Chains A and B, each alone.
Chain A
Amino acid sequence: MSPAIGGTLARLDGRAKVSGSARYSGEVPIPHLAHAVLIGAPVANARITAVDATEAEQSAGVLAVLTHLNLPKVAMQPSLLPSLAGLAAPGHTFFPMQDDTVHYAGQHVAVVVADTLERAEHAATLVRIDYDTTPPVTLLEEIKDQAYEPQKIFGGLLPGRQVRGDIEAGLRDAEVRVEAMYEFAANHHNPIEPSTTTAAWDEVGRLTLYDGIQGPTSTQLTAAAFLGVPPAQIRVVSNYVGGSFGSKAMVWPHATLAAMAARHVGRPVRLALNREQMFTSCGHREQQRQHLTLGARADGKLVAVRHHKLSLTSHFDDWAEPSLQSPAIIYDYPNYEGIYRLGRGNINTPTFTRAPGEATGMFAMESAMDELAERIGVDPVELRLRNCSDTDPATGDPWSSSGLRECLERGAELFGWAGRDPRPRQRREGNWLIGTGMATAAYPHAQPVNPQRARARIYSDGSVIVEAGVSEFGTGISTAMTLVAADGLGVTVDQVRFAGGNTDMPNITAAVGSAGAGAASAAVHLSVTALREQLIGMAVADEQSPLHGADPAAVVVEGGRMALRDRPDAGETYSAMLQRKLVPDVEAIGNWIPPAQDVGHGMHTFGAQFAEVGVDAELGLIRVRRMVGVFAPGRVLNRRTAHSQLMGGMLWGLGQTLLEATRMDARSGRWANASLADYLVPVNADSPDVVVDTVEVHENVVNPLGVKGVGEIGVVGVAAAIGNAVYHATGYRARSLPIALDDILSQAS
């Protein structure tokens, strides 16, 4: 359709980021700035019996100490709805420092404000808080007998139980059954930029919040609700965000606390979470256990799947990441039962973590599929191909687009899968046992529910500005939107400036669930299309234009010049027309109304993952040697940024499989490894050779440009591909993430 979309434009924010001039939310220069430091409860289940802030208040430079005794009450508590809903999006239905109860360790119990960060940090050590404690409950083991089945999970978006067909009969009649239990450690996002909010009130009571967030409107509406201030009086700026991965998808209390502190001291306040606080202040992937049973015919065709999940949530929210959704529909089988069960503990509400749900659920599904393949003697790729579905098995509707078969075949080809000896422990290089494994990747296509808007304006010199309130947290959205705008308007990329990052812009819902590029590109595309039509309309109505009287539908635009499709010599540039008519600028709004989820199509993104590992036969050390991922994400707006995101997702999967675990110290109810020294993430030396490819699918349902997004799908299936490769290398079947060296060693001995 167009020259720019699908190209490989270098990031337009690259220069700002390599020169150090990109200002993240804690870096905007503000005169007279004060610094706030949070104090988190050191205990997990308690009542506060006494607060003594005297010494802290008298400490040099201190402006205020806020606790539940003097912090204002919030105006209201909005309900927990994922930010994709476009409404207020608090991370949990709880606001700290409203009473004397401590529900989880790290819960904010005081805010200390001083003129410098160092003085605030020092004074925070002087605040004395006494607690009356009760033993905390923080582990799955402790709640499993009191677990309940919630009506809804995931902020009320999904039912707690889903069934189709007759699961009992399906499993009973199956010729082959694979049943296993899978364990998952809690994970933390650990973006490298800790969440930071800078709050400044002006003299007439308007608030500006500089906040690192996946969508500025989320912060605006949430802070407005808590503070009881009209949203129109709150401006949120989120120019650059230093990574998020879900930790900045919802709005956590620190943003509102920064505003409360700034109002209290009458000065602008910056509130930065430190790394330890990042483990207790913005959610996590919950510790969970999944029980999966597959029933199949002797040829490997699935007939029934039972998938139960047990996980830990907070005392105030029924939150479980939707681990059961993708396994329920990726293959064609008639009988299904998926049940979520929850137990309440002294922890914060969990939240979205990159590939929320699929990263865990698909590990279970695709590990079990590997066992099934071995059991019946069918190649793992062939087993998936036999089970591919042309329709959404839950509804019978056709996929808007799939591409799963192509991904599996292309991945197998790129990886060199053919001819693989399926028997474990057959390949050895020195001390290294070598194995290969694969898995299907799948991620549901999420849609925003409210209109998405963008504004396009062209000036008489032909330069164009397009605005939409998106947030740049690493995805390359600004670069991609520049391509979309250039194509839609028929101008060159260097004529377009895309601007986003604040709530003065037309509203775009927070970019979560891989829906960001689809939502923003739809609005931007509609805005520039409307602008182009307006400009062409002006030309054909203008007696002095070479296009006067032409059929607008016969006019094409390229390089900013409108011309007749059949007679390219007859035409003029946008700028020539505007200058002749003495029109300084023309503007148009794009307003995209997303289709409902029940549009008669199943909407899902698919892919395939392949991995090769080496396992040290004596030490149990696992090294991923190479990975291949092939995905079908619909239209790719910018090949360069899309591939980079997919590759990043695959390395996230590697971290989840081999390194990442937040362990609870059950005696204290505190995370035992809340630092980057103790929570392991992949470093460069862990990073293997990664090949990323995409297959083209015809997609015209999800949004105007057919964009399904690339943020999460790269993660999904990696854990199973690596786990299956470990089995192939060693004969050890990993059913617990992350895979521990000692598990492999104990198996070997």
Chain B
Amino acid sequence: MQVTVTVNGEEYTRDVDTRLLLVHFLRDHLGLTGTHWGCDTSNCGVCTVWLDGVPVKSCTVLAVMADGHAVRTVEGLERNGTLDPVQEGFVQCHGLQCGFCTPGMMLTARWLLDHNPDPSEEQIREAISGQSCRCTGYENIVRSVRWAAEHSTVEATK
């Protein structure tokens, strides 16, 4: 089946198997491997992307369900060679170790900050509780998101 999906502002048309998951469409068909794959039961959250502006777990979305919709991935966080404050925060505050959960964490964090520019630690913890960091850098992840909140000079990038 042919699908057209706008990913990070760019339109992609591909013939896909109807059983293809969005996560594998992004990774294997578009080469956007920043979106990771970890559990298939939507628990770990490493596959989190935005679908029409809302974070979803792309391991439980079929590629054909994204037909005609807009997806944003970690590769779409950076603007004109400048890291999003969330990305910068994860680097500055050591919000990562192995880095596998990082893209999903950042996409949820970006969504949180777009809707709540000054979240409390409690709100950050709650927001990213659908995602697992096994290393586990939870303390630093919270600090990273706070760093981004405090350094958001760029406009909300919805």
Contacts and interface: CB of A to CB of B under 8 A. Distances in A.
Q: Do A and B bind each other?
A: yes
Interface of A: 10-11, 13-24, 27, 29, 116-119, 122, 190-194, 240-245, 272, 274-275, 473-476, 640-641, 644-645, 647-648, 651-652, 675-677, 681-685, 687, 690
B36 A687 contact: no
6 contacts: A11-B96, A15-B91, A17-B102, A20-B34, A118-B17, A192-B44
B152 interface: no
A648 B92 CA distance: 18
Interface centre among B41, B100, B101 (most CB of A within 10 A): B100
B148 to A, nearest CB: 11
Given A13-B99, A18-B91, A685-B125, A192 B134 contact: yes
A208 B75 CA distance: 28
Contacts of A192: 36, 38, 44, 46, 98, 100-101, 132-134
B106 A18 contact: yes
B155 interface: no
Nearest to A23: B33
Interface centre among A23, A274, A684 (most CB of B within 10 A): A684
B98 A193 contact: yes
B90 interface: yes
Interface centre among B33, B77, B140, B142 (most CB of A within 10 A): B33
Contact of B136 (A23, A27, A685, A687): A687
B36 A19 contact: no
Contacts of A190: 134
Contact of A116 (B28, B74, B83): B28
Interface string B4-32: 00000000000001011000100110011
A684 B98 contact: no
A120 to B, nearest CB: 12
A24 B100 contact: yes
A651 B138 contact: yes
B87 interface: yes
A11 B78 contact: no
Contacts of A645: 97, 135
B116 interface: no
B40 interface: yes
A15 B90 CA distance: 9
B94 A648 contact: no
Contact of B17 (A116, A244, A677): A116
Closest 8 CB pairs of A and B: A20-B34, A242-B100, A474-B98, A17-B99, A474-B97, A20-B74, A27-B33, A14-B91
Contact of B41 (A242, A244, A474, A677): A677
B98 A241 contact: yes
B28 A17 contact: no
A274 B75 CA distance: 24
A119 B17 contact: yes
Given A19-B74, A20-B32, A10 B141 contact: no
B58 interface: no
Contacts, number: 172
Contact of B134 (A10, A27, A119, A681): A681
Secondary structure of the B side of the interface?
A: loop
B56 interface: no
A272 B39 CA distance: 12
The bracket for how many chain B residues form the interface is 35 or more
Interface of B: 17, 19-20, 24, 27-28, 31-41, 43-44, 46, 73-75, 77-78, 83, 87-88, 90-92, 94, 96-103, 106, 124-126, 128-142
B35 to A, nearest CB: 7
Given A18-B96, A242-B99, A118 B33 contact: no
A489 to B, nearest CB: 25
A644 B137 contact: yes
Contacts of B37: 194, 272
Nearest to A677: B41
B67 to A, nearest CB: 17
Given A27-B27, A245-B134, A20 B98 contact: no
Contact of B141 (A27, A275, A474, A684): A684
A173 to B, nearest CB: 46
A122 B41 contact: no
Contacts of A644: 94, 97, 135, 137, 140
Contacts of A473: 98
A275 B39 contact: yes
A684 B134 CA distance: 10
A11 B133 contact: no
Contacts of B142: 684
Contacts of B44: 192, 676
A440 B104 CA distance: 36
Given A682-B136, A683-B129, A20 B35 contact: yes
Nearest to A19: B78
Given A20-B75, A119-B17, A676-B43, A242 B36 contact: yes
Nearest to A121: B19
Contacts of A17: 90, 96, 99, 102
Contacts of B34: 19-21
A275 B134 CA distance: 14
Interface centre among B34, B44, B135, B142 (most CB of A within 10 A): B135
